[in-house]
């Protein structure tokens, strides 16, 4: 009997759609076609490739509402947030259409030779494994630089957003791209090892869990292929004694509750110096109370269900374990008695080292408050993690904040008096168990090119 994969509406657990689960016999011709397309695509000039991405940006904006509703039905994102995601996808398309020729221009280096320069050439077919939490943005932000550089892509999207994956492939087609420059593989993770090993796959990129990253890195290493990994985070948001508390609370809340807290780079640990802990905690609690669960298709909703019941249940167990270990549950923490992957806005205080909420990533609408004795203690707590994706510092002394962000906090991104957001103009990625390599910006487009030296004697 042929395998199939269902997409389930997390708001009511109804089946949205069903897709055939491809085996390698169906996948291999797609990889071959992507390789064949690459042999032609690589020879186009940057301005010729840019035309297709400019058209894609236009179509994304035209279909903003349609795509937002699809995301809401498949993974529970409120439609207002979905429309913002689609606009951001259009932005990254425009950015690389305009900037790739600069980012990948030959770079001449003075040597004793008559001519020495570095040039940037595509690699071939790139295997992309993407998550469900930003089902359009994660794909488009990786595809725009990779394809503008001259590569082609085969995508394995998360199985609960296959409708989005199919829509993205159609988006490329409707934007006029040549066939097989971008292709979607309707397959689960069971085929990934064989796909990575395929001789026509030149590199792999994954955004996902630490466990998935370990598996992909192992397969890529075994086959001597480049990999880029963007994994989990336990982002520290440090509130110092001289912080603007209202700004800190608003930023922490916005970062924590975007997409129902299901963001790798969301604020995960609120680390507050004890002299301002009481005020900060009170205001965070009041803000979190204002987030009310609602239908993601309703434009008044800013907080929908989690993406899957299984993920909701795992989060709830982390909350219960933390409370058993001594954390104080100030808000939420109870599963509603109704169908769907619903979980309320939740606040844990008095969180300390050794507790689940201190050391593990809580991927959902749970705010974790940790009290530090002073600035030095707050920094030590912030860096006491296996993760290193993003972080933030709140202080009225901007120069001090800048120095701490630049020199002290161990993350791929650190923001002073704001919250972390990916931006097409800036590199994005982590250190430690948050992965390696960079996406977007100039550094992102250099990940999947041959940085080639040419010398003329």
The residues annotated with a catalytic role in the active site are 230, 264
Q: Are 378 and 271 in contact (CB under 8 A)?
A: yes
Cα dihedral 63, 69, 74, 80 sign:
positive
Helix, strand or coil for residue 295? coil
Helix, strand or coil for residue 118? strand
Name the burial class of residue 387, with classes exposed (0-12), middle (13-18) and buried (19+) by CB atoms within 10 angstroms of its CB: buried
Q: Are 161 and 188 in contact (CB under 8 A)?
A: no
> For the chain, what is the total number of helices (H) and then of strands (E)?
15, 18
Cα dihedral 250, 252, 255, 256 sign:
negative
Measured CA to CA in angstroms, residue 80 lies from 57, 87, 251, 353, 363 at distances of 19, 11, 19, 37, 21
Cα separation, 415 vs 395, whole angstroms: 11
Cα dihedral 236, 241, 244, 250 sign:
positive
Helix, strand or coil for residue 414? strand
Cα separation, 15 vs 42, whole angstroms: 41
């Amino acid at each position: 009997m042929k395998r199939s994969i269902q997409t389930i509406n997390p708001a009511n657990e109804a089946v949205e759609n069903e897709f055939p689960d491809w085996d390698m016999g169906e996948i291999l011709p797609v990889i071959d076609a992507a390789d064949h397309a690459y042999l032609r695509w690589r020879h186009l000039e940057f301005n010729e490739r840019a035309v297709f991405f400019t058209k894609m940006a236009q179509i994304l904006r035209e279909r903003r509402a349609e795509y937002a509703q699809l995301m809401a039905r498949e993974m529970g994102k409120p439609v207002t947030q979905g429309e913002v995601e689609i606009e951001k996808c259009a932005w990254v398309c425009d950015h690389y259409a305009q900037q790739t020729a600069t980012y990948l221009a030959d770079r001449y280096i003075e040597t004793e030779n008559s001519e020495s320069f570095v040039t940037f050439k595509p690699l071939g077919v790139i295997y992309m494994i993407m998550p469900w939490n930003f089902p359009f943005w994660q794909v488009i932000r990786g595809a725009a630089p990779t394809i503008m550089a001259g590569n082609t892509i085969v995508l394995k999207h998360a199985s609960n957003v296959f409708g989005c994956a199919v829509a993205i492939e159609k988006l490329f087609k409707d934007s006029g791209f040549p066939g097989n420059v971008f292709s979607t593989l309707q397959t689960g993770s069971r085929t990934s090892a064989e796909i990575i090993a395929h001789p026509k796959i030149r590199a792999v990129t994954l955004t996902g869990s630490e466990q998935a990253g370990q598996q992909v890195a192992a397969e890529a290493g075994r086959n001597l292929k480049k990999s880029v990994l963007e994994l989990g985070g336990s982002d520290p948001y440090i509130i110092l004694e001289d912080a603007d508390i209202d700004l800190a609370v608003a930023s922490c809340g916005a970062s924590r509750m975007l997409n129902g807290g299901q963001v790798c780079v969301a604020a995960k640990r609120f680390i507050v110096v004890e002299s301002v802990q009481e005020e900060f905690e009170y205001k965070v609690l009041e803000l979190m109370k204002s987030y009310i669960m609602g239908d993601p298709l309703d434009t008044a909703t800013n907080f929908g269900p989690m993406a899957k019941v299984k993920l909701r249940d795992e989060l709830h167990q982390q909350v219960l374990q933390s409370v058993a270990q001594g954390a104080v549950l100030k808000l939420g923490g109870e599963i509603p008695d109704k169908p769907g992957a619903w979980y309320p806005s939740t606040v844990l205080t008095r969180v300390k080292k050794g507790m689940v909420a201190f050391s593990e990533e809580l991927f959902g609408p749970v705010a974790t408050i940790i009290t530090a004795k002073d600035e030095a203690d707050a920094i030590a707590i912030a860096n006491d993690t296996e993760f290193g994706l993003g972080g933030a510092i709140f202080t009225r002394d901007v120069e001090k904040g800048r120095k701490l962000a630049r020199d002290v906090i161990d993350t791929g991104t650190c923001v002073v008096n704001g919250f972390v957001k990916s931006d097409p103009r800036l590199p994005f990625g982590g250190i430690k168990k948050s992965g390696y390599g960079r996406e977007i910006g100039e550094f992102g487009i250099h990940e999947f090119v041959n940085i080639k030296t040419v010398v003329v004697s």
